[in-house]
Amino acid sequence: MHSYTEIFTKPFTCFPPGYLRKGDNMVCKLNRSLYGLKQASRNWFSKLSTALQSFGFSQSQADHSFFVLRQGSASIFILIYVNDIIITGSDMALLQDIKTRICTTFHTKDIGPLKYFLGIELARSQQGLYLCQRKYTLNILSDSGLTGTRPVDFPMEQNLKLSDSTGSILSDPSPYRRLVGRLIYLTVTRPDIVHTVNILSQFMHQPRQPHLDAAHRLLRHLKGTASQGIFLYAKSTLKLTAYCDSDWASCPMTRRSTTGYCILLGSSPVSWKTKKQSTVSRSSAEAEYRAMVVATCEVTWLSYLLQHLGVPLRAPVALYCDNLAALYIAANPVFHERTKHIEIDCHVVREKLHQGLIRPTKIASTDQIADIFTKSLGRTQFQHLQSKLGIRNLHAPP
């Protein structure tokens, strides 16, 4: 969908060289917000969202690019990414009417049922929806010259610790930076490689040979799993389940811990993340408690989004953690030597616990799905957690 907005923009003083004469004091006023200008995308979204709201859509406060229209028992959902739109709903007549109104207001093109969107391939069946980035993965392998490499079963050597002072500095860091940037986008449908990509992205400023070797090993893993993606089950229960974990003082340079979480809707993964913590934790319990905070905030946001979708949230949401001390800190409001130095915002876990949104629950470390987001695991444990995460390969033989 492409359209110039009809919004007047603020004046600016960029003229072509030689247009002005010495002493002139003039400005331009654009009647149209042209592509390439800073305010163009903002003006376009403002015009599009205003038009949708005039059709009766309500804008989600959890995600401003998401719009919902309800008429009786029928619902229409619209998701926007710049000038690409996904539209779906429960009533085909109402859906077609909305599409006609959009096409009348803007110069658009209906390309039919959703099969490929922003590099993500979609396949439907009666069992559910399958999302993968097979073509995107093969392009990465082709550009890296590793299409003929031997595959490996897991993305990173177990217990590998990369640092910024070991190995020779790459003479040209551009290929490494380009590769890692493309791998970051691949994590949209590949949660199993999030931890490895997170580690590799920490050395973009000055990559060294060990970092490139680790990136090539990840590519070897992708060679054998190019068709893997996430499967969203059609008949899955609409119940949120959260897993959080932390690897205490895992960064050899800063001694900061790594946080990882994964949230499932029924048995389908809908949100996951790996991130280095912003401060150094004094104990593993503190590191795990901080991981619970991040997961709790994500659960809170997802509850708002589900509410706008009209999906009733079955609270409390089970928040699985494998650290008993962190669970005790969340349940016990008494300050003591272990918790008095923790920032106040971390105690959002207690607040949501008392509100009934979450229910912190103990889980065995061997069944902690979030382990795959915080540690480089061996083959057996990696494949075990990968299967629990809902990752599938529809192109693999049965």
Which pLDDT tens digit goes with each residue over 376-394? 998 999 989 988 888 888 7
Q: Is residue 42 part of a domain?
A: no
CATH number at residue 248: 3.30.420.10
Position 340 confidence tier, pLDDT thresholds 50, 70, 90: low
Please compute the mean of the pLDDT values over residues 109-116 and round it to a whole number.
Answer: 86
CA dist 312 and 238 (Å) reads 8
Distance of CA 294 to the CA centre of its chain: 14
Mean pLDDT score of the chain: 86
* Token pair belonging to 296: 């709790």
Q: Is residue 163 part of a domain?
A: yes
Q: Which of 68-77, 107-116, 371-380 has the weakest average pLDDT?
A: 107-116
Do 153 and 109 share a structural domain?
Answer: no
Confidence (pLDDT) at 240:
93
Position 180 confidence tier, pLDDT thresholds 50, 70, 90: very high
Q: Is residue 186 part of a domain?
A: yes
Confidence (pLDDT) at 394:
75
CA dist 339 and 318 (Å) reads 23
Confidence (pLDDT) at 9:
33
- pLDDT tens, residue by residue, 74-109: 999 999 988 889 999 888 999 999 999 998 888 888
Confidence (pLDDT) at 333:
66
Amino acid at 46: S
Helices (H), the chain: 40-54, 92-105, 134-144, 174-186, 194-200, 209-224, 284-309, 324-331, 348-355, 379-388
Do 321 and 289 share a structural domain?
Answer: yes
Confidence (pLDDT) at 391:
87
pLDDT at residue 325 tops 90: no
Confidence (pLDDT) at 12:
42
Please compute the mean of the pLDDT values over residues 270-284 and round it to a whole number.
Answer: 90
Do 378 and 253 share a structural domain?
Answer: yes
Q: Please, what is the angle between helix 324-331 and helix 348-355, to 10°?
A: 70
Please compute the mean of the pLDDT values over residues 162-169 and round it to a whole number.
Answer: 90
Do 110 and 142 share a structural domain?
Answer: no
- pLDDT tens, residue by residue, 1-16: 333 333 333 334 455 6
- Phi/psi class of residue 82: alpha, beta or left (left: φ > 0; alpha: ψ in -120 to 50)? left
Do 351 and 244 share a structural domain?
Answer: yes
Do 251 and 202 share a structural domain?
Answer: no
- Phi/psi class of residue 112: alpha, beta or left (left: φ > 0; alpha: ψ in -120 to 50)? left
* Nearest in space to 259 (alpha carbons), one of 245, 272, 270, 271: 245
| Domain total of the chain | 3
* Token pair belonging to 392: 């599938």
Do 366 and 289 share a structural domain?
Answer: yes
Q: Is residue 17 part of a domain?
A: no
CA dist 282 and 132 (Å) reads 40
Q: Is residue 25 part of a domain?
A: no
DSSP secondary structure letters along 155-217: SS-TT----SSSSPBPS--HHHHHHHHHHHHHTTT-GGGHHHHHHHGGGSSS-BHHHHHHHHH
Three-state DSSP class for residue 92 = helix
Do 345 and 251 share a structural domain?
Answer: yes
Do 291 and 241 share a structural domain?
Answer: yes
Do 240 and 220 share a structural domain?
Answer: no
Three-state DSSP class for residue 138 = helix
Do 243 and 186 share a structural domain?
Answer: no
Return the C-alpha torsion angle 52, 55, 59, 64, nearest 10: -10
Q: Which residue has better confidence, 31 or 98?
A: 98
Q: Is residue 380 part of a domain?
A: yes
Do 105 and 197 share a structural domain?
Answer: no
Q: Which domain holds residue 293?
A: 236-268+280-386
